[in-house]
Amino acid sequence: MPLDTAMPIVDEEIAGADREYLYTLNFGPQHPATHTTLRLILTLEGETIVKAVPDIGFLHSGFEKLGEDLDFNQYVTVVDRMNYISPFANECAWFDAVEKLMGIEPTPRCKYLRTILSELARISDHLLCIGAVGLDLGALTAFLYAFNQREKVYDIMESASGQRFHPSYCRVGGMMSDITDDVVQKVRDFVKTFPKAHADLTRLLNRNRIFVDRTKGIGVLTKEEAINMSCSGPIARASGVTRDLRKDEPYLAYPELQGSFKVICAKGGDCYNRYLVRMAEMAESLNIIAAAVENLPGGSVNVDLNDKLTIPDKQATYRSIEGLIQHFELFMWNRRWETPVEEIYAANETANGELGFYLVADGSGKAFRARTRPPSFIHFAAFPHLMEGHQISDVPAILGSLNIIAAELDR
């Protein structure tokens, strides 16, 4: 892409012969510290950043347009690829919107299962964020410790759904299949072993002189700014906002698990506080998982087959006429679900913040409009403000602490 996309603003803002010595540096889109395809145009005075202009859209792949073409169950594969480091949480948010639109109440077992897996996804997301910040700031060991635990989360996802990275495990009104006892055992093992890894990670980073020096006081976001810039999730909570949708608008099994977790907040609003909030949130997530897996209800993961909402299993499809009819009813392009001609917004608290879907339905089994409220996009908009006045070596610290996922940013 030619460089002139962002040039006009830079010129207008800092015109004048007295500032001609300012140096423009193109950071990305292929830069190891940006992790994904992000491009920043930095205007430098020596090593100090006068202005940062993000140029995004390199990974824009029309997810929302696809959402208008694929049906509710098909779109889950695309939703998975938005925030691809905690894909299961995206699935939960998407089906939360779909089920709220259609007025479906998932079964208790389904709710608990989704809660456990989305909390595992949150841990995996926070681990990547912390590991990557450590990596960029010179603490390679922390990265390896974090990724070791992420493997375990992937193993659980694989046992549950058959796919490690993009599970595509949820369906309208339930799940693709029930889990086996093996998964429950793996989750229990994870609950047992993770605290040690968490403690190791804490010891590696919390008082690591280099890490603390490079994150403390860097990229400060005040509470008022966080609210004004629509920030949510750990980034807003590190600035003192107390909102957590799991507490404030409980969904899935969270109403019953209220006693097992606390909302983590900090006041500093800098990169170090964001790191601390994420670390403490992982411990809270583990409490939720421990409580949920021990209280996992029995019964079916899908809503009643007679509601004509869920895909029947293969046994029912091949051995009964009702199952066969329902299977085709849900797969033929002109049948599928009946939806109200209405629209709904539903949001979940994912690892990065409030992930919402604004779903407009026109009565067919496809979304008329599937708007995503992507937390990364909104947080990245605050980046130029956070960056002003800092050194160029603070770019990886701030970028990492915002946990920008380009696939979710550009969709």
Partner 1 sequence: MPDYLSSLNAKFSGAFTTSEFRDNKRVLISAEKAAEVLFPLLKCLKEECGFDMLAELGGIDYLNYPNATDRFCVVYGLTNMTTGQRVFVKAFANDPDPELPSVYDLWRGADWMEREVYDMYGVKFTGHPDLRRILMPHEFAAFPLRKDYPLRGYGERHNFETVTRADS
- Interface ranges with partner 1 (CB under 8 A): 1-2, 5, 9, 56-57, 60, 62, 64-66, 68-69, 100, 103, 225, 227-232, 241, 243, 248-249, 340-345, 347, 354, 356, 358, 360, 362-363, 368-369, 371, 373, 377-378, 380-382, 385, 410-411
Q: In 3D, which of 270, 405, 301 has the Cα closest to residue 351?
A: 405
Residue 33 CA to residue 27 CA, distance in Å, equals 9
* Degrees to nearest 5, angle at CA 216 with 212 and 217: 165
Quote the least distance from Cβ 56 to partner 1, whole Å: 6
For the CB of residue 106, give the shortest distance to partner 1 in the complex, in Å.
Answer: 15
- The per-residue b/e assignment along 218-244, b for 16 or more CB within 10 angstroms, e otherwise, is bbbbebebbeebbbbbbbbbbbbbebb
Nearer to partner 1, 2 or 16 (CB): 2
Q: How far is the CB of 277 from partner 1 (least distance, A)?
A: 17
For residue 175, the cross-strand partners are 170
Which is closer to partner 1, CB of 155 or CB of 225?
225
**Shortest distance, CB of residue 362 to partner 1, whole angstroms?**
6
CB of 410 to partner 1, least distance (A): 6
Kindly tell me which of 241 and 330 has the beta carbon lying closer to partner 1. 241
Candidates 156, 168, 160, 86; CA nearest to 127 is 86
In Å, how far are 19, 299, 326 from 305, measured between CA atoms? 70, 13, 9
Cβ at position 8, least distance to partner 1 in Å = 9
Measured from the CB atom, the residue of 116 and 344 that comes closer to partner 1 is 344
Shortest reach from residue 88's CB to partner 1, in Å: 22
What DSSP designation does 3 have?
A: G
Cβ-based nearer residue to partner 1, 154 or 368:
368
Q: Which residue, chain included where needed, has tokens 């809270």?
A: 284
Q: How far is the CB of 406 from partner 1 (least distance, A)?
A: 11
Nearer to partner 1, 53 or 121 (CB): 53
Closer residue to partner 1 (CB): 211 or 383: 383
For the bound state, the minimum distance from the C-beta of residue 347 to partner 1, rounded and expressed in Å, comes to 8
Q: What is the DSSP string of 346-401?
A: EEEEETTEEEEEEEEE-SSSBEEEEEEE-HHHHHHHTHHHHHTT-BGGGHHHHHHH
E-state strands within 101-199: 170-171, 174-175
In the bound state with partner 1, the residue whose beta carbon lies nearer, of 146 and 344, is 344
Q: 266 near 237, Cβ under 8 Å? A: yes
Nearer to partner 1 (CB atom), residue 378 or residue 395: 378
Contact 84, 165 (CB under 8 A): yes
Which of residues 85 and 241 has its CB atom nearest to partner 1 in the complex?
Answer: 241
Burial of 23 (0-12, 13-18, 19+ CB in 10 A): exposed
In the complex, least distance from residue 403 CB atom to partner 1, rounded to whole angstroms:
17
Residues in the chain: 411
* Beta-strand runs (E) in 23-150: 23-27, 39-45, 48-55
Instruction: Please give the Cα distance from 201 to 10 (Å, whole number).
Output: 41
